[in-house]
Structure 1
Amino acid sequence: MDLAGAINRLTARWAAEHTAGSTVFSGAGAWPLLAFLAEAADGAARAELEDAIGVPAARGAEAGRAALELMASIPAVRAALGLWTRPGLPVRDAWLATLPSGAHGTLTGQAALDAWADEHTGGLIPRMPIDLDDDVLLVLATALAVRTTWDVPFDERGGSLTSGPWAPARPKLITRMTREPADVRRADTPGGPLTLIRVAGDGDLDVHLVIGAEDRSPGSVLADGIAALSGPQTPAPGFTESPGVSITKARSSQRHDRVSLTLPPFEVRATHDLLGIPGTMGLGAASDPSHGHFSAISADVPLYIAQAQQSALARFQTKGFEAAAVTAVAASRAMAVRPAHRVHHVEAVLSHPFATLAVHRPTGLVLTATWLAEPSG
């Protein structure tokens, strides 16, 4: 089973949905949760979730556990899954047995959910992205936290950008010099050329900066960047210039090529309503409150997905990178009135338009994807 490929396909589909503004999201954080739901789902809900995860629904729980184990095995990553149910909700033992050991608890209140999110992301996501009310009978959540220290740190520098749409904002800049031209690569994609710049960290983690032409859409850059990570790439230095990269020749007392990388540090936070992209997440039928969709979870209470949210964060700083995502679904009794969803305002600290993809080096698994659209000032 190509877990990294299946998860990356979901991430790319999600990326293609993004049209404007800064955002951060984790397909890797959502995928195991959807996989466990897929095996437990019935009818149209099962088919849609199976399409979203890209593996047979009958193997969903097995794949979900394997995905969590893969992420937990990465030194730079923490991953966990939790399930909470109301005391009065009868849950099938067979389904509980498919979950990781110790994942199931009693749904007691918002504070316990928030404490779990805070603990399993090291404080990066302090609140579970679910509005707990009396109609919620079950909450299923995943937490993902990524932390890495750069092999070569950045330095803070003075001055300002001399060109580009963000030059007037004079954002704070960080820079570094390395001897690794192969870390700067060009990828010719359906939407045009991209530059992929690898910033290596510890714990088997790389962060790739993905830069396209200024007029390319965020979704196009993100989706093509994810695809390019597993495709052939041509080193840019010594061959041809690519977006965001210029190449010059100069005399030097040293025999090594040099790579200079300059960008503003950033922090981006976002909250996503996954029911707003049902085609991508496979939650269209499962969120229909007119009847139940998960008889494998409870034989006596018809359940539908009333809420599905992800809160995510990414920070790129002088010494390293950290990111986290908590993804959660809340199930309620079918035939209930669907609760209104909270509208969230997204604020982010931004840079010259580019994407960042946090990638597990050995498998190519994209853990988080980020799009930056405005300078931090």
Structure 2
Amino acid sequence: MFSGAGVYPLLALLAGVASGPARDELRAVAPSALNLPPVDGVSAALGVWTRHDLPLSPGWDPGTRLSGDPSIDQPRLDAWAFAETGGRIPALPVAVDEDTGVVLASALSVVTEWVQPFDNGVMSPAAGPWSGRTLAALHRRHAASDALRPLRVLDGAVTLLTVEGGDDIDVLLAIGADAATPGSVLAAAIDGFARSTPATTGPGITAQEVDATDPAPELLVSLPAFDLAAGHDLLADPDLFGLRTASRDGTFPGISPVDLAVSSARQQAVASFTALGFQAATVTALAMYPLAYRPPTARKLRVTVTFDRPFGFLAVHRPTGLVLVAGWVRDPADWTP
């Protein structure tokens, strides 16, 4: 899993204080600040620290300084990550040493309870990469006149199921065809969930007519519970994040007259999807070094949607459509009696 909403504020901040090619590359990725309005269920924080003896440019004074002693600085930064994520992420994903000049960090937490909880159970997929396993699963039945409302299909190739949270947070589950790659499914879901249309055919969907006492359609949902953790090195693909020059010989006169380079850029992310709700947290951090110290880097229609092979998810701010967190469930937990 990964959170672009956790990375973007740091890139936009750097773009505002960089110069030359580094500024151009960063602005191509993050041309403006991300202004997320107050949202129930979402908390965000930005932290900035500079080394105590680093000369600062006029107007740049974060008010928090690094001592230059890693035994003091690292626990302070780790405590910040722990506090800003409610304990979900215990440490900053970058390490500091005596030469660290600047640390920038963002924390994002998403917590919501389902409007309609799931029931705990098991799942035993008959085919696909999870066949032969008994998985801890969640099940839910929608049986009202609008039971099919959460189910939509995008271009016939990706099935989206909206799980509504109690705040302004929805979690969209996305499953594609057997051969679809995680990148293609998540990219299609992110780009197209707003134009998806109601449908009763698509990946993961089966539909059949059954005997019933009323003619209203019903929707049965089954998926594995999941508890994920992921770490990412943003400098592994510096062009994607506009950090190519910034990590090599970038200058940031808005921070300091001393030339600085991004020496480490990482994100740690966790998410859990349970019977009662969804929780996710990310901490993204960039460490910068003065270049002199730079290190290496009735008859009713019954529709069932079953996520019984790898699938994706998006946590979306409902009013704006902003994707807060996206991820891919590749290996869920086995059920233990």
TM-score (norm. length: structure 1): 0.81
1:44 aligned partner: 21
Q: Are 1:199 and 1:207, in contact at CA under 8 Å, matched by a contact in 2? A: yes
Instruction: Report how many residues are paired.
Output: 317
1:233 to 196, 208, 220: 196
2:64 aligned partner: 105
2:7 to 23, 30, 47: 30
2:225 to 242, 250, 265: 265
Task: Tell me the CA shift for residue 36 of structure 1.
Answer: 0.6
Paired letter, 1:298: S
Task: Tell me the CA shift for residue 105 of structure 1.
Answer: 1.2
1:361 to 318, 329, 333: 318
Paired letter, 1:365: L
1:295 aligned partner: 253
Q: Are 1:147 and 1:323, in contact at CA under 8 Å, matched by a contact in 2? A: yes
Identity of aligned residues (%): 43
Q: Are 2:123 and 2:135, in contact at CA under 8 Å, matched by a contact in 1? A: no
SS in 2 for 1:35: helix
Paired letter, 1:143: A
1:162 and 2:162 matched:
no
Is the alpha carbon distance of 1:337 and 1:84 closer, same or farther for their aligned partners in structure 2, counting shifts above 3 Å?
A: closer
Q: Deviations over 1:95-118 (max 9, x none)?
A: 44xxxxxx6412241000000000
2:304 aligned partner: none
Q: Are 1:294 and 1:303, in contact at CA under 8 Å, matched by a contact in 2? A: yes
Task: Tell me the CA shift for residue 256 of structure 1.
Answer: 2.6
1:205 to 159, 164, 169: 169
Is the alpha carbon distance of 1:129 and 1:249 closer, same or farther for their aligned partners in structure 2, counting shifts above 3 Å?
A: same
Q: Are 2:125 and 2:308, in contact at CA under 8 Å, matched by a contact in 1? A: no
Q: Deviations over 1:340-372 (max 9, x none)?
A: 5xxxxxxxxx97211000000110000000111
Task: Tell me the CA shift for residue 245 of structure 1.
Answer: 0.8
1:177 aligned partner: 141
Please, which runs of 5 or more residues in structure 2 have no aligned partner? 68-72, 298-306
1:187 to 148, 151, 154: 154
Paired letter, 1:356: F
1:82 and 2:47 matched:
yes
Higher helix share: 1
Task: Tell me the CA shift for residue 147 of structure 1.
Answer: 0.4
1:132 to 90, 96, 109: 96
1:282 and 2:242 matched:
yes
Paired letter, 2:84: H
The CA distance in 2 between the partners of 1:227 and 1:360, in whole Å, is 15
Is the alpha carbon distance of 1:198 and 1:49 closer, same or farther for their aligned partners in structure 2, counting shifts above 3 Å?
A: same
Paired letter, 1:331: M
1:243 aligned partner: 203
Q: Are 1:306 and 1:331, in contact at CA under 8 Å, matched by a contact in 2? A: yes
The structure with more radius of gyration: 2
The CA distance in 1 between the partners of 2:123 and 2:288, in whole Å, is 52
1:326 and 2:283 matched:
yes
Paired letter, 2:150: D
Is the alpha carbon distance of 1:104 and 1:225 closer, same or farther for their aligned partners in structure 2, counting shifts above 3 Å?
A: farther
The CA distance in 2 between the partners of 1:228 and 1:171, in whole Å, is 30
Is the alpha carbon distance of 1:292 and 1:334 closer, same or farther for their aligned partners in structure 2, counting shifts above 3 Å?
A: farther
SS in 2 for 1:143: strand
The CA distance in 2 between the partners of 1:50 and 1:252, in whole Å, is 58
Is the alpha carbon distance of 1:246 and 1:45 closer, same or farther for their aligned partners in structure 2, counting shifts above 3 Å?
A: same
Q: Deviations over 1:15-44 (max 9, x none)?
A: xxxxxxxxx110001111110100111111
Q: Are 1:160 and 1:173, in contact at CA under 8 Å, matched by a contact in 2? A: no
2:81 to 114, 117, 126: 117
Paired letter, 1:122: G
